[in-house]
Amino acid sequence: MKKMLVVALMALGLAVNAQEGKLNVGLNLGLPMGDASDAYSFVLAPEANYLFQVSDKVLVGPTVSFYHFFGKEIGGGSASMGGVTVSVPSVEVPNASLLPIGGAVRFNATPQLSLGVDLGYALSISNSSNSLHYRPVVGYRFSHNMTAQLSYSGFSKDGVSMNALGLGVVLGL
């Protein structure tokens, strides 16, 4: 998997060599989805990409982001069985941080609407494991340098996944 990602990124680099690109930076706020919503309360994810125009409507380039899942306190309270009440302690779920590195593709469907996907490998900064990262994105361009985006981020390894639905703003520099 790692070798295939490296080859894809090299091919992407060769395809956009000697073209001028655009640096984009953004910030996304998200809600954990699926099983991740049981343990995490929200997600903060700054991102950056450098996109090269390869046709009138298609841009490609490298991307990097940092996802921080904020853990929540779960459990607590009391449980009764057979007339005996037992106090159940709560558990603080530790935060999880991931650093996805990969490639981005954006398709400008209209002058305001863009569709895209980020695909790469996420390095674990906390105690979680490294994983595949995928992120479909829908963007609405308010101006030449500002886009609002809705995205779904997924981190998957061996059938286990952490997902988040995000809303963010990206600025073109």
Residues of the chain with pLDDT under 70: 1-19
In a domain, 47, yes or no: yes
Whole-structure pTM value? 0.82
Give one DSSP letter per residue of 10-46, joined into a string.
HHHHHHTTT--EEEEEEEEEEEEETTHHHHEEEEEEE
Look at residue 19 in the predicted model and tell me its pLDDT.
65
Look at residue 2 in the predicted model and tell me its pLDDT.
54
In a domain, 80, yes or no: no
Look at residue 16 in the predicted model and tell me its pLDDT.
46
Number of domains in the chain: 1
In a domain, 81, yes or no: no
In a domain, 77, yes or no: no
In a domain, 40, yes or no: yes
Look at residue 153 in the predicted model and tell me its pLDDT.
97
In a domain, 85, yes or no: no
In a domain, 79, yes or no: no
CATH number of the domain to which 62 belongs: 2.40.160.20
| Domain, as residue range, for 97 | 2-72+92-172
In a domain, 83, yes or no: no
The Cα 89–Cα 82 span in angstroms is: 20
Query: How many other CB atoms sit within 10 Å of the CB of residue 79?
Result: 9
pLDDT tens digits, 78-119:
777 777 888 878 899 999 999 999 999 999 999 999 999 999
